[in-house]
Chains A and B, each alone.
Chain A
Amino acid sequence: MDPQTTSLLQPARWVDNYGDYLYNYAYFRVNKQELAEDLVQDTFLSALKAQEGFKGEASEKTWLTGILRNKIIDHYKKASTQREKQELDNSRPAVSYNYFFEEEGGHWTDDRGPKEWGVNAGNSMESKEFFKILNACLSKLPEKWAMAFSLKTLDDVQGDKICKALDISSSNFWVIIHRAKLQLRECIEKNWIRA
Chain B
Amino acid sequence: MKLKLFHNCKEATLLISKREETELSFAENFFLRIHILYCKFCRSFSKQSRLLKQSLLSLNQKNEKGEYTLNLSDEKRALLKKEIERHLKNP
Q: List chain A positions with a Cβ less than 8 A from chain B.
A: 11-12, 14-15, 19-21, 23-25, 27-28, 33, 37, 40-41, 44-45, 48, 97, 100-101, 105-108, 113-117, 119, 121, 123-126, 128, 130-131, 134, 150, 152-155, 159, 174-175, 177-178, 181-182, 184-185, 188-189
By the criterion CB–CB under 8 Å, are B54 and A124 in contact? yes
A106 and B60 contact, Cβ closer than 8 Å, known pairs A20-B71, A48-B84, A175-B14:
no
B57 to chain A, nearest CB (A): 7
B87 within 8 A of A: yes
* Measured CA separation A33–B10 after assembly (Å): 35
- B58–A174 CB distance below 8 A: no
Residue contact A101 to B9, C-beta cutoff 8 Å: yes
What distance in Å separates the Cβ of A125 from its nearest Cβ neighbour in chain B? 4
Query: In the complex, which residue of chain A has the Cβ closest to the Cβ of B63?
Result: A126
Q: How far is the CB of B9 from chain A (nearest CB, A)?
A: 5
Q: Is B47 an interface residue (CB 8 A)?
A: yes
With A15-B80, A44-B80, A114-B41 already in contact, the answer to whether A159 and B51 are too (CB < 8 A) is no
Count A-B contacts at CB 8 Å: 142
Our pick among B50, B68, B79, B84 for the contact of A121 (Cβ within 8 Å) is B50
Tell whether, in the assembled complex, residue B52 and residue A188 are in contact, meaning their CB atoms are under 8 Å apart: yes
Within the complex, the shortest CB–CB distance from B41 to chain A, in Å, comes to 4
Bound state CA distance, A123 and B55, in angstroms? 8
A84 → chain B closest CB, angstroms: 25
- Check B17–A155 contact: CB distance below 8 A: no
Cα of A27 to Cα of B87 in the assembled complex, Å: 25
Cβ-closest chain B residue relative to A22: B72
Supply 17 further A-B pairs (C-beta < 8 A) apart from A108-B9, A153-B56: A12-B85, A20-B71, A24-B61, A37-B72, A45-B83, A48-B91, A97-B10, A113-B40, A126-B58, A128-B69, A134-B55, A159-B22, A174-B18, A177-B18, A177-B21, A188-B52, A189-B48
Nearest CB in chain B: distance from A159 CB, A: 7
Contact, CB under 8 Å: A11 / B80:
no
Tell me the smallest distance from the CB of A33 to a CB of chain B, in Å.
8
Q: Is the CB of B13 within 8 A of A182?
A: yes
A-B pairs, top 9 by smallest CB distance, nearest first, are A113-B41, A114-B44, A106-B10, A106-B8, A124-B54, A124-B55, A108-B41, A125-B55, A178-B17
CA distance A97 to B8 in the complex (A): 13
Point out the residues of chain B lying under 8 angstroms from A101, CB to CB.
Answer: 9-10
CB closest residue in chain B, given A182: B13
Q: Is B88 engaged at the interface, CB distance under 8 Å to the other chain?
A: yes
CA distance A101 to B11 in the complex (A): 10
Contact B56 A150 (CB under 8 A): yes
Decide if A25 touches B80 in the complex (CB within 8 Å): no
